[in-house]
Chains A and B, each alone.
Chain A
Amino acid sequence: MSVTETRNSAAGDEGGMGYLQSLPRRIVTIWLPLLIFVFVLLFPFYWMAITSVKPNEQMTNFNDYSPFWVIGPTLEHFRYLLFETSYPGWLWNTILISVGSTFLSLLAAVFAAYAIERLRFSGSRQVGLGIFLAYLVPPSILFIPLSVMVFRLGLYDTPFALILTYPTFLVPFCTWLLMGYFRSIPFELEECALIDGASRWQILTKIILPLSVPGLISAGIFAFTLSWNEFIYALTFIQSSENKTVPVGVLTELVRSDVYEWGALMAGALIGSLPVVILYSFFVEHYVSSMTGAVKE
């Protein structure tokens, strides 16, 4: 870095060592690539949204209408989706299954994480490692044996098939996340409570849980998002149209024959993405910190 360059840009820049770079250079090396990244990462969403409000005749006629804009947007695709398909039912199933499996997983994970992190029974380290390894087992090698089990247990084509199998990837993740969180709560608080005669149950419910609300929120959001997005189990274990979840329903029921109803498909994808995006936008800081925290462990 030459001396002149350094001198040129010394003014008006704060923090870090950004002042070592000149403004034009910053535009080319930072802003330009960043804007290209943002454009590429967001374009599919824009395309999804614009397609979902396009009237059918504009959908494929790129020569008479600009494809990037829409003249006279229509809600016809949304109306079709909500009133003439089973979409509302799929939405309801997805909510039910996600809430159910999230609740179940959080419950199991809170107890497990507390036992591993604070009761420190003999072998707790190994159990902790085992839980981490369980997270590395991917659903794509489990779905065939699980489908056999689900069938034998008589759960095939019921929401319980999914509520009970989603914890296989949710429990390890939540436990791992909560273990990190419990670790940050000072031991002294527990010791005080023990001296005052509190039982372990009281310590957990009256001291640890109130203090770990942010951790519980992160774990809950993650679990909810992961169950909302799950596909392979839902595709394999659910047969009838009225029991399907949104991702499976959109793909298997809205795609018929050769004529793709792109408007309705995009509308379905948009509505199906909204709940997780809204949830995410409210808790984005929790989300980012727990995602990076879980990886850093």
Chain B
Amino acid sequence: MASSQTAAAPKTSMLAGLTESRGWLSLWFMLPAALLLLIFLTYPLGLGVWLGFTDARIGRPGVFIGLENYQYLWDDSVFRLSIFNTLLYTTAASILKFVLGLWLALLLNENLPFKSFFRAIVLLPWVVPTVLSAIAFWWIFDSQFSIISWALIEMGLIDERINFLGDPTNARLSVIAANVWRGIPFVAITLLAGLQTIPQSLYEAATLDGASRWQLFRYVTLPLLTPIIAITMTFSVLFTFTDFQLIYVLTRGGPVNATHLMATLSFQRGISGGQLGEGAAIAVAMIPFLLGAILFSYFGLQRRKWQQGGGD
């Protein structure tokens, strides 16, 4: 673009070069996003890793102490428990979200009256701020006035109130239930979109060949849905693994640390406790797990594409 003007006026071509040439123009266009992300995302990521190697506290810049934070955490039973809790929470919630979400997607994919209405209200738990819906769950899980306990007692199924958030096992189940409640809509709606791209003719052909409903699902729906399942579940696992809000509202990690996730422990040690270095180390310890989850689904996805004969 600029080359035509070069001979005539070298002075303006400089300016034209800076505003018109593709390379410079791209640079200007990328600048706002790049600055925001480099300053507030890439740099903090590095800073977090560095803080994990220091003994920084709130109001006092730390000095390099090598792997001491990690050595301390390795022997810390609460940290180990938090890893176990996080893995349990992520695995149980993700499996439930997947099964129930897929089921709901299949239901919504049927030819129903008021289809768009159902789809709209199903998404609500996902739209509403997590903290605010978690407060509603807090009230539903109240130890004395839980509506669930009351309803079950009225029905004669149990004799005394369930202590939802006070007992370690119950607390774990309760937070998983709340997380699943919030996560189902996302899984269901994205899988529904995937289901709608599967051509009806495949089902007709398979039915003519005498396939049962289970076979239709197993050999037509599931293979064609696998790529989108992989992406949806990667996001779901990622958000569940790093969850903070729900636990912070419902239990703050209690009772006796039974529901402490790595994110909540990191907040408790780093911000509430003021041990920035240790908190950062806990946060950094989450990264290998996250990378593992991403790579797992990425390669799962690749294999599927190859199996279906699609390039790249």
Contacts and interface: CB of A to CB of B under 8 A. Distances in A.
Interface string A222-239: 000100110110011000
Nearest to B263: A140
B302 interface: no
Contact of A232 (B124, B137, B144, B244): B244
A171 B38 CA distance: 12
A164 B40 contact: yes
Nearest to B24: A121
B258 interface: no
A228 B47 CA distance: 27
Interface in A38-83: 38, 40-42, 44-45, 47-48, 51, 59-60, 62, 67
Given A145-B45, A288-B123, A295-B190, A109 B33 contact: yes
A269 B133 contact: yes
Interface in A213-255: 225, 228-229, 231-232, 235-236, 246-248, 250-251
Contacts of A284: 116, 120, 123
A41 B124 CA distance: 8
Contacts, number: 280
A20 to B, nearest CB: 7
B102 interface: no
A186 interface: no
A269 B107 contact: no
A171 B110 contact: no
Interface string B139-168: 110001101001000000000000000000
B41 A134 contact: yes
B228 interface: yes
A227 B203 CA distance: 42
B255 interface: no
Contacts of B83: none
A276 interface: yes
Contacts of A277: 124, 127-128
A11 interface: no
B40 to A, nearest CB: 5
A147 interface: yes
B283 A144 contact: yes
A30 B112 contact: yes
Contacts of B294: 136
A186 B20 CA distance: 22
B224 interface: no
B218 interface: no
Interface in B195-223: 200, 203-204, 207, 212-213
A18 B111 contact: yes
Given A15-B111, A45-B136, A291-B190, A273 B128 contact: yes
B30 to A, nearest CB: 5
Contacts of B140: 44, 47
Contacts of A200: 20, 25
B242 interface: yes
Given A1-B213, A144-B283, A165 B203 contact: no
B253 interface: no
A257 interface: no
B23 A121 contact: yes
Contacts of B53: none
B70 to A, nearest CB: 15
B145 A115 contact: no
A272 B23 CA distance: 45
A15 B204 CA distance: 12
A231 B48 contact: no
Interface string B2-41: 0000000000000000011011011111111110110011
B33 A292 contact: no
Nearest to A280: B127
Interface string A102-124: 00110111011011100101101
B88 interface: no
Nearest to B36: A167
Nearest to B262: A140
B238 interface: yes
B184 interface: yes
A33 B107 CA distance: 8
B135 A250 contact: yes
Given A33-B103, A44-B140, A229 B267 contact: no
Contact of A171 (B37, B103, B123): B37
Given A14-B111, A41-B184, A247 B232 contact: no
A295 B22 contact: no
5 contacts: A16-B200, A38-B121, A112-B34, A141-B283, A292-B194
B118 A38 contact: yes
Given A62-B150, A142-B283, 12 more contacts: A17-B203, A30-B112, A59-B145, A136-B294, A148-B51, A149-B47, A167-B40, A175-B33, A231-B245, A247-B129, A287-B127, A296-B194
B239 interface: yes
A142 B139 contact: no
B263 to A, nearest CB: 4
B32 to A, nearest CB: 4
A23 interface: no
A51 to B, nearest CB: 7
B45 to A, nearest CB: 7
Given A111-B29, A121-B23, A291-B189, A141 B147 contact: no
